[in-house]
């Protein structure tokens, strides 16, 4: 499996087959991230297929009661998922239900990249970070297109890994995000809408290479 600081989000198969895309960029990236659209298109088996190529972060943004969160998490882990993303705002019990075993790598959302994130969630990142930490999270989601929040999160995150979406189409710059504290950048449409995903990822890897 590849290493480095890039996570490629595969949200859709409109332009590229997910397995082919993952295989083509696997040497340049740390993981792929899959969301509900791809799983609904291909079924949970796509997680198993992709996990034979690279690490698979399942971005389900779980935000339900503990029992439902756990049931979903069990399915994802049995399919070979490397990590699961869940919302911290649902509280400690719901997060801990995702981490139903110590083998689960829980990544908790504490801030978001879109303008609506500023209406509610982004103003509470400090409290959400505390919840994520106490729930035993492996990492957190903090916006790569908001250097102000990202740099503040970095100062308080301790050993938690920071995964930063919002790179490319949403305006975030990969080098800026890394400089402001991201351990991993997440990039989606800029890669999967490209005619040459390998070149896009290779160039991005080169730009942030000195920070690996």
| Catalytic residue of the set 48, 61, 154, 161 | 61
61 belongs to the catalytic site: yes
Furthest CA-CA distance within the chain: 43
pLDDT tens track for 24-34: 999 999 999 99
Q: Which CATH number characterizes residue 175's domain? A: 3.20.20.70
Enter the pTM of the model. 0.94
In a domain, 158, yes or no: yes
In a domain, 1, yes or no: no
Reduced to 3 states, what is the DSSP secondary structure of residue 53? coil
DSSP 204: H
**What is the mean predicted confidence (pLDDT) over 169-177?**
90
pLDDT tens track for 59-81: 999 999 999 999 999 999 999 99
pLDDT tens track for 119-159: 899 889 999 999 999 999 999 999 999 999 999 999 999 99
In a domain, 94, yes or no: yes
- Per the structure, the complete domain to which residue 35 belongs is given by 6-211
pLDDT at 18: 94
pLDDT at 153: 95
H helices of 79-196, in order, are 92-98, 125-134, 147-156, 174-179, 189-192
Which of 54, 61, 56, 55 lies closest to 44, judged by CA?
56
Residue 80 dihedral angles phi and psi, to the nearest 5°: 100, 10
Q: Average pLDDT of the chain?
A: 93
Number of structural domains found in the chain: 1
Does residue 209 register a pLDDT over 60? yes
In a domain, 14, yes or no: yes
């Amino acid at each position: 499996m590849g290493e480095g600081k890039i996570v490629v989000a595969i949200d859709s198969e409109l332009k590229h087959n997910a397995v082919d895309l993952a295989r083509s960029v696997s040497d340049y990236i740390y993981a792929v991230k899959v969301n509900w659209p791809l799983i609904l298109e291909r079924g949970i088996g796509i997680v198993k297929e992709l996990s034979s190529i690279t690490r698979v972060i399942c971005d389900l943004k779980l935000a339900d009661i503990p029992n439902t969160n756990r049931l979903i998490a069990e399915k994802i882990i049995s399919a070979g998922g490397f990590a699961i993303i869940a919302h911290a705002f649902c509280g400690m019990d719901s997060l801990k239900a995702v981490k139903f075993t110590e083998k689960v790598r829980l990544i908790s959302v504490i801030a978001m990249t879109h303008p609506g994130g500023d209406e509610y969630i982004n103003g509470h990142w400090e409290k959400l970070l505390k919840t994520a930490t106490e729930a035993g999270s492996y990492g957190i989601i903090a916006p790569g297109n908001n250097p102000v929040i990202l740099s503040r999160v970095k100062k308080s995150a301790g050993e938690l890994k920071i995964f930063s979406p919002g790179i490319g189409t949403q305006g975030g710059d990969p080098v800026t995000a890394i400089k402001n504290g991201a351990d991993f950048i997440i990039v989606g449409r800029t890669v999967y809408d490209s005619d040459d995903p390998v070149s896009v990822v290779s160039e991005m890897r080169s730009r942030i290479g000195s920070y690996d």
